[in-house]
Amino acid sequence: MKYAIAFSSLALLLGLAAAHRGAAPASAAEAPASYKVDPVHSMVIFKVKHMGAGNFYGRFNQVSGTFTIDDADPSKNRVEFEVKADSIDTANKQREDHLKGPDFFNVVQFPTITFKGKEIKKAGEQSHEVAGDLTFRGVTKPLKAKVEKVGTGKGRRGETITGFEATFTLKRSDFGMNFMVGPLGDEIHVIVSTECTTS
């Protein structure tokens, strides 16, 4: 019941990071690239320890975002990512109802989890580090995520699509989600998996 908490933020970060990476693989001379997250093929997955025993996984199904990567002029880099907190999915309706309530995500009061990237740095051949602000349950805190480029392909209409996966860890209590910390882990591991179209 307590699991879902930190994940959406993580997903946001990941999406951002992925975007960066998509642009970054290109050479420094490459033109700036703008990406739009495909919500149908993107998700945020989270993992939290349950009762000190097992790892519990859940996901958020509704994500959106855009980002721009300009290696020549990093000041133009932008990342914006949003997760609908109400889209949490744990394969158990009663647990989801609890997670959506005041004990955890409080989705009526805090319907979205957002990430706004400020910095994108190349961290490897296919990876970048994205730094920005995560806003979750009304609390905004700086966050860094590692973004890996998964691959590039062609979509159904021949458009170029690029996949990114971002990972990060956060403490849910830092964002005011302090219910049942202990039985339900405070640390949340997040994977943001995105597929993006280039605009």
Partner 1 sequence: MILPQVLWGILLPAVVAGVVLLFLGKRSTAAAAAMAVGAGYAAGCFALWGMPPFPPIDSGDWIFWLAIAAAGVAPLPLPPRARRLAGAAIACALSLLVLLPLVRRSWSAPLGVAAVAGWSAAVLAFWWPLERLSIGAGARFAPVVLWGTAAGMSIALVAARSARLGQQAGMVAAALGAAAVLAWLPERVHLGRGSLGPYAVVLTGLLMVGLHFAQLHWAAAILLLAAPAAAFGARSLAARRCPGAAAALAGLALLALLLAGAVGVQLATTTSSSYEGY
**Which residues of the shown chain bind partner 1 in the complex (CB under 8 A)?**
1, 51, 92-95, 97-98, 101-103, 106, 108-109, 137-139, 176, 178-180, 182-183
Shortest spacing between CB 185 and partner 1, in angstroms: 13
Shortest spacing between CB 84 and partner 1, in angstroms: 14
* SS3 assignment, position 78: strand
Give the whole-angstrom CA distance, residue 79 versus residue 27.
Answer: 20
Nearest 5°: phi and psi at 164?
-135, 150
Shortest spacing between CB 32 and partner 1, in angstroms: 35
Shortest spacing between CB 198 and partner 1, in angstroms: 34
For residue 88 the two structure tokens come to 């949490």
Nearer to partner 1, 55 or 178 (CB): 178
Shortest spacing between CB 46 and partner 1, in angstroms: 16
Residue type at position 157:
R
β-partners of residue 122 are 128
SS (H, E, C) 101-144: CCCCCCCCCCCEEEEEEEEEEECCCCEEEEEEEEEECCEEEEEE
Nearer to partner 1, 112 or 126 (CB): 112
Nearer to partner 1, 4 or 45 (CB): 4
Nearer to partner 1, 30 or 133 (CB): 133
Which alpha helices (H) appear in the chain, and where do they start and end? 7-23, 93-100
β-partners of residue 173 are none
Question: Token pair 């458009």 is at which residue?
Answer: 159
Nearer to partner 1, 78 or 98 (CB): 98
